[in-house]
Structure 1
C-alpha cells in the first residue's frame, strides 16, 4: 500500500473520530457530569440525545442525494461539527444545547455517509477493498479518546472545558485530514438509472435495512446511557469512565476483524453472531451488576456495534457497488430513525419502572428481533431468487 492510499484511509478514520467518536459519543461520558452540575433528569437527557439523532437522521438522508463536490462538502460539515462541539462548553442554555446537538447530528450523518463513500470508492478503484473496514475503526478510536480524555479534562476544567478541549482536538484532526487529502481528487458521482438491477428495494436489501434500523434502535440505548447507568450503581461508580474506554478499545480492531471474517465465512453468519453477542452484552448488566459483568458488557457492545456498522454498509455496497452513497445513506437513515426513538423510550421506561433494567431488556429484545429479521429475510430472499432462476431455466 502506498503512502497516499494509507493517507486516504487515515484521513477518513480521523473524520469518523470527530463526527462519531467525539461529536456524537463524547456526550455519553460527559452526561453524568452535566446531569449532576446542571440538575438534568434522565428524561431531559434523553431529549438531548434524541435531538442529536434527529439531526443524524436528517443528515444521513440528505447525504444520499449528494452527487457532486463530496470532498468539499464533507470538509465543510466537519468544520461546522467541530464548532458545535466547542460551543457546547460555552453555554448553559438547554434550548441552545438542543440546537447544537441537532447540528452535530446533522453534520455527523453527512460526514459518516460521505466519508464512507469516498474512502470505499477510492479503495475499490485501486483494488484495495479488503482495507475498507479500517476506516470504521475511527468510531472506536473516537470513543476510546473521549473515554480517556473526558474524566481527565473534567477533573481539571469541568464538563464545560471538556467540550472545548475535545473541540480543539477535533480541529487538529480536521487539519491533519486536510493535509492527507490535499492531493486526492474525488470524482462526481453519476445518477444511476433505475432498473431491476439497481433497485435496492428488492431482494435481500429491504430486510438488511429493516434489521439495521432495529439495531439502531436497540444499541443506542446502551450507547447513550451505559456510563450513566454504571455511574448510578454506587458500588461501580468508580468504573463508569473506564467502561467507555473499554467500549472504544473493543471497537477499534472490531471493524477490520469483522471484515476479515466476512471475507472468509458467510456474511450473514458473521452478522448473526455479532447480533447474538450484542444481545448477550446488553442484557448482562440486568443479570449481574459486578465490575467484570459491566466491563464485559461494555466490551461486547463496542466489539459488536461497530462490526455491524462495518458489515452492514460493506455488504450493502457489495450488493449495489454503483450506488454506494445512496445505499449507505438509506442504511444510515433507517439506523438513525431507530436512534431517534430509542433514548426517548428508554427514558420513559426508566422513569416508569424506576430501574435501568427495563430499558436494557427492551433494547436486548429489539436487537434480538433484528437478528430474526436478518435470518428470515436472507432465507426468504434466497428462496425467491432460486425460484426466479428455476423459472428462467424453464422459459
Structure 2
C-alpha cells in the first residue's frame, strides 16, 4: 500500500493548512448547519415545539435546500474561495436564527436556506481543497477534509446530549452552536483566498473527455450517489428518536450519534490511505454494503449493543463514500469538476428529501421505523450492485 501522505517538506504545511481549513468549513456547514438538527430534535420534541411529522418536514426542507444549492453549483462562476467564505458566514447566521425565532414557518425557511448554503460549502470547499492538494501532490490529506463533518457531528452530539441531561432549552443550544461555529470560522477565514490556488479558472479535463463512455460514467455516478443519500438519511435524521423508542429510560441513545461521528472521522482518514489507483466505484460499493449492515443491525438487534454497532457501521463509510465520489468526479472532469460534483450532490440531496418523507408517515402509521429502515437498507444494496456493475464494466473495457 502506498504511503498515505507522500508530501515534500516544502508542501506539507500548505497541504495541512488547506485540508484543515476545508475540514473546519465542512464541520460547520455539515456537522452544525445540517446535522445539529439530529441531536436537537429530541429536545424540540420534548418541549412540544415540534411533533415527529413536523420534524420530518423540517428535515426535508433542509434537504430540499441542499438539492437546490447543489444544482445551482454548475451555474455559479464566482471564485470558489469567496463562495466558501460566504457559505461559512451564512451557516453561522442561520444557526443563530434557529435559536432566535420560534415560528414553524420561519424555521422551515431557515432550514431550507441552511441546506442551500451547506451544499455550496460542500461543493466549493471540496473542489477548492482537492484541487489544492493535487497541486501540492498531497492527495492523502483528502481524508482530513472529509473528517470535518464527523468532528462537527461529535461536538454537536455530545453537547446535545449534555443539554438534554441538564434540560437546557433547545434555542440556547442552537445559539451556542452558532457561537462555537463563528470562532472556528474565524480561525480559517484567511486561508480561503483567490491566490491560494494557482489552478483557479483553468478548466482542465484530464480524463474527462465528453465521450459516450464518460457521459455514461457521469450519469452512473449521479444516480447511484443518490441512493446513498436516501439509504443513510432515515437513520441519520431519526437515530436518537429511534433509539429512545427502543431503549426507554436508557442513557445510551444520546451517545449513538457521537459514535456515528467518531466512526465517520476514522472512515474518512482510513479511506484516504488507499491507493489512488483503486477503483472509486468498487470501493464505494463495499461501503454501501457496510452502511446497509449498520441499518440492519439496529432493526434485528434493537439493543444498546445493536444500535452501537449500527451507528459505527453507518458512520464509518459516510464521508468515505463522499471522498470517493468527489475523486471520481475529478477523475472524469478534472479541474472543471464543480458542475459534476454539484449534480452528484443534488442527486444525494434528492435522496435525502425523499427519505424523511417516506419514513415519518410510515413510523407514524405503524409506530415503528423498521419498515422504512429496511427500505433504506435495500436501496443501499441496490446502489452497491450498480457500482459493481459500473466498475467491472470499466475493467472489461481496459
Give TM-score, length-normalised by structure 2.
Answer: 0.91
Matching residue within 70, 76, 95 for 2:86: 76
Residue 190 of structure 1 and its aligned partner are, at CA, apart by: 4.4
Structure 2 unaligned regions, length at least 5: 1-10
Matching residue within 257, 266, 291 for 1:244: 257
Q: Distance in 2 between matches of 1:180 and 1:228?
A: 38
| 1:18 corresponding residue in structure 2 | 28
8 Å Cα contact 2:23-2:146 kept in structure 1: yes
Q: Distance in 1 between matches of 2:363 and 2:96?
A: 31
Q: Which range moved further: 373-382 or 155-164?
A: 373-382
| 1:291 corresponding residue in structure 2 | 304
Q: Which range moved further: 295-304 or 184-193?
A: 184-193
Residue 310 of structure 1 and its aligned partner are, at CA, apart by: 1.1
Residues 1:307 and 1:89: Cα distance change in structure 2 (over 3 Å): same
| 2:246 corresponding residue in structure 1 | 233
Matching residue within 169, 173, 176 for 1:158: 169
Q: Distance in 1 between matches of 2:153 and 2:73?
A: 23
* CA offsets 1:302-354 (integer angstroms, 9 cap, x no match): 10111111111112212321322112112111111111111101112212222
* CA offsets 1:273-322 (integer angstroms, 9 cap, x no match): 21111111011111011111101101111101111111111122123213
Q: Which range moved further: 224-233 or 236-245?
A: 236-245
For the residue of structure 1 that corresponds to 2:201, the secondary structure is coil
Q: Distance in 2 between matches of 1:73 and 1:264?
A: 31
8 Å Cα contact 2:209-2:332 kept in structure 1: no
Residues 1:299 and 1:343: Cα distance change in structure 2 (over 3 Å): same
Give TM-score, length-normalised by structure 1.
Answer: 0.91
Q: Distance in 1 between matches of 2:270 and 2:208?
A: 33
Residue 374 of structure 1 and its aligned partner are, at CA, apart by: 1.1
Does residue 51 in structure 1 map to residue 61 in structure 2? Answer: yes
| 2:111 corresponding residue in structure 1 | 101
Q: Distance in 2 between matches of 1:124 and 1:231?
A: 44
Q: Which runs of 4+ in 1 moved over 6 A?
A: none
Residue 18 of structure 1 and its aligned partner are, at CA, apart by: 0.4
| 1:124 corresponding residue in structure 2 | 134
| 1:355 corresponding residue in structure 2 | 368
Q: Distance in 2 between matches of 1:353 and 1:201?
A: 44
| 2:201 corresponding residue in structure 1 | 189
| 1:366 corresponding residue in structure 2 | 379
Q: Distance in 2 between matches of 1:97 and 1:71?
A: 28
| 2:188 corresponding residue in structure 1 | 177
Does residue 282 in structure 1 map to residue 292 in structure 2? Answer: no
Q: Distance in 2 between matches of 1:271 and 1:79?
A: 32
Does residue 204 in structure 1 map to residue 217 in structure 2? Answer: yes
| 1:168 corresponding residue in structure 2 | 179
Structure 1 unaligned regions, length at least 5: 387-395
Q: Distance in 1 between matches of 2:17 and 2:55?
A: 38
